[in-house]
Amino acid sequence: MIDDLTRERILDAAKIEEVVSDYVSLRKRGVNYLGLCPFHSDRNPSFSVSPSKNLCKCFSCGEGGSPVHFIMKIEQLSYGDALRHLARKYGIEIQERELSDEEKKLKSDRESMFILNEFANEFFKNSLHNTIEGQTVALSYFRHRGIRPETMQKFQLGYAPEERSALSDEALRKGFKTEYLVGTGLSLQYEDSKGLHDRFRGRVIFPIQTVSGKVVGFGGRIMAKKDKVAKYVNSPESIIYSKSRELYGLFLAKKEIARKDKCFLVEGYTDVISMHQSGIENVVSSSGTALTLQQINQIHRFTSNITVLYDGDAAGIKAALRGINLLLEQGMHVKVVLLPDGEDPDSFARNHTAAEFEEYIEKHET
């Protein structure tokens, strides 16, 4: 049996255009590729390959699917054998054996944590829109930042109440286990006090999604000014969340990145949101962390062209330069845009139309 973590590594590594091109000669057609269908007698290229969706489809006979399903069909293999085929192609070692009790528990834990995060996401959204505290404190903040209701819905923005254990108490009432509340980082458990404490309290919430749309963590911005309290708090590392792997906004941006063959990289959550709202959707954020190889590989699945867009002050310049060597080492085509002093992508997007923003970028990217 192939364990879940290895299976995910194989699925993450398998790029549909690389897999199909072992069997079909492909030509670039816009953001996709086109070739003769290998599953029927095809005289006119009708087999389309979409890197952004990681899928293929014949518009004549209807065959297609993911890299695994393509290999299953063309090599007449079972699902497991198709995974093994792809593992060999991408040099991924498989040590097959029956899952141990510990591994079975890890699989169950991961599934339970994803379900809990979805529950928390709904709780935060409800707190934003359907409580007096959320409407008074958080909705007014988002409106002040110029974020429209449809954009709040698109990014699934929420609010964590000020109450000490509002989320934890509700989750326990719904039957969620303490170990998963603590494991995801949604709750804190102190030795010198009884019960659980919410990690996110009195904060607007930004859900962090994987490239496939699963909620793996949250970022929270404090609303009230408090001494010795961090402005931003993020979910800790867990068995489902690694901050070095995820890029904020990639799930919503991936199709536009592939379509425009270009990705903008910014620093913060609101930078991504404001640029989306202004009409520029091929944008992601490393969320304040130094750019990593895993994040670059995520972008590279959709484009080789990246424009780093940071504040125009000294700190912004330093941040922009920080990840450039790593980007170049991975074969990315890199440009940098420094915004006017005192501006960041969030403020610039709010004060300019998409056309004005794109014109500025074209004139100033280096």
Q: Could you tell me if 323 and 353 lie in one domain?
A: yes
User: What single-letter DSSP state applies at residue 291?
Assistant: P
pLDDT at position 315 is 67
- Is the domain of 105 the same as that of 82? no
C-alpha span between 58 and 171 (Å, rounded):
46
Alpha-carbon distance 74 to 20, whole Å? Answer: 10
How many CB atoms are closer than 10 A to CB 251?
19
109 shares its domain with 187: yes
Q: What is the pLDDT of residue 316?
A: 60
Long-range contacts of 94-101 (CB under 8 A, 24+ apart): 94/2, 94/6, 95/6, 96/1, 96/2, 97/1, 98/1, 99/1, 99/3
Are 220 and 259 members of one domain? no
Is 141 domain-assigned? yes
Q: At what angle do helices 293-300 and 250-260 cross, to 10 degrees?
A: 50
What range defines the domain where residue 191 resides?
Answer: 101-234
Q: What is the pLDDT along the chain (366 residues), one digit of tens a residue?
A: 787 888 989 999 999 999 998 888 889 999 999 988 888 877 788 999 999 999 999 999 999 999 999 999 887 778 888 999 999 999 998 876 676 778 778 778 888 999 999 999 999 999 999 999 999 999 999 999 999 999 999 999 999 999 999 999 999 999 999 999 999 999 999 877 778 999 999 999 999 998 778 899 999 999 988 777 889 999 999 999 999 889 999 989 988 887 888 999 998 899 999 999 999 999 999 876 778 888 988 887 678 899 998 766 666 667 667 778 889 988 889 998 888 888 889 999 988 888 899 899 999 998
State the pLDDT at residue 312.
Answer: 62
In a domain, residue 244? The reply is no
Instruction: Read off the amino acid at residue 276.
Output: H
Q: Count the domains in the chain.
A: 3
The strand pair at 283-285 and 263-266 is best described as parallel
How many CB atoms lie under 10 A from the CB of residue 90?
Answer: 14
Domain boundary (234, 265, 296) is at 234
Q: Following DSSP, what letter does each residue of 40-90 receive, concatenated?
A: S--SS--EEEETTTTEEEETTT--EESHHHHHHHHHT--HHHHHHHHHHHT
Task: Read off the CATH number of the domain in which 187 is found.
Answer: 3.90.980.10
